[in-house]
A and B are shown apart, each in its own frame.
Chain A
Amino acid sequence: MLLIHCPYCEEERSELEFRHGGDAHIARPTNIADISDEEFEAFFFLRDNPKGLIFERWRHVHGCGRFFNAARDTVSDKFFASYKAGEPKPDIPGVSPATEKTVETYEATEGTAK
Chain B
Amino acid sequence: MAEQALRKAPLGGFHGGSAAAHVTAAGPATRLSLRAGADAVPALSKALGLTLPQKPKTSASANGRHALWLGPDEWLLIDESSADLAALAAKADVLHSAVDVSHRNTAVLVAGERAAEAIASGSPHDLSPKVFPVGACARTVLGKIEVVIFRTGEQEYRVECWRSFAPYAFALLAEGAEDAGL
Partner-B contacts on A (CB < 8 A):
1, 8-11, 13-14, 16-17, 62-66
Contacts and interface: CB of A to CB of B under 8 A. Distances in A.
Interface of B: 56-57, 70-72, 74, 124-125, 131, 138-141, 146
Contact of B72 (A1, A14, A66): A66
A31 B138 CA distance: 42
Contacts of A8: 56, 71-72
Contacts of B56: 8-11, 64
Contacts of B70: 64-65
A10 B146 CA distance: 20
A14 B125 contact: yes
B140 A63 contact: yes
Contact of A17 (B57, B131, B140): B140
A64 B71 contact: yes
17 contacts: A1-B124, A13-B124, A13-B125, A13-B140, A14-B124, A14-B141, A16-B141, A62-B141, A63-B139, A64-B56, A64-B74, A64-B139, A65-B70, A65-B71, A65-B74, A66-B71, A66-B72
A61 to B, nearest CB: 9
B136 to A, nearest CB: 11
B55 to A, nearest CB: 9
A84 to B, nearest CB: 9
A11 B74 CA distance: 18
